Amino acid sequence: MKSTNGNPLELLAPFASGGAIQLEAQRLGLKAHAHDLNSVAVMINKAMIEIPPRFVGKLPLNPDAQVNHMNEGYSRAQGLAEAVRYCV
């Protein structure tokens, strides 16, 4: 971090494919940019990298899960995971 004046590094994956590198960069707290010509790879990356962070700390759709975890709260995207389990 000394070489970046305390700013987090940014990662560019020009051929994103399955998104493993971007997901790992995000897990480490780095900003990740991904590009790919394959539309399937782009959708996989959106589903793994862009969408879950929007639901951090949100309650799930399932009313039973909301009541059961009202006092605990949800960290990260656990509310989204619970909502997916409920819908499936």
How many domains does the chain contain in total? 2
* Residue 64 shares a structural domain with residue 23: no
Distance CA 14, CA 80 (A): 28
Which domain covers residue 61, as residue numbers? 55-88
| pLDDT of the residue at 26 | 81
* Residue 87 shares a structural domain with residue 61: yes
* Residue 1 shares a structural domain with residue 27: yes
* Residue 65 shares a structural domain with residue 87: yes
Q: Which residues of 37-47 are buried (b: 16+ CB within 10 A; e: fewer)?
A: eeeebeebbee
Residue 58 · residue 75 · CB < 8 Å: no
Whole-model pTM: value is 0.58
* Residue 43 shares a structural domain with residue 17: yes
Residues 46-74 have pLDDT tens digits of: 888 888 777 777 777 777 766 655 556 66
* Residue 30 shares a structural domain with residue 72: no
* Residue 43 shares a structural domain with residue 76: no
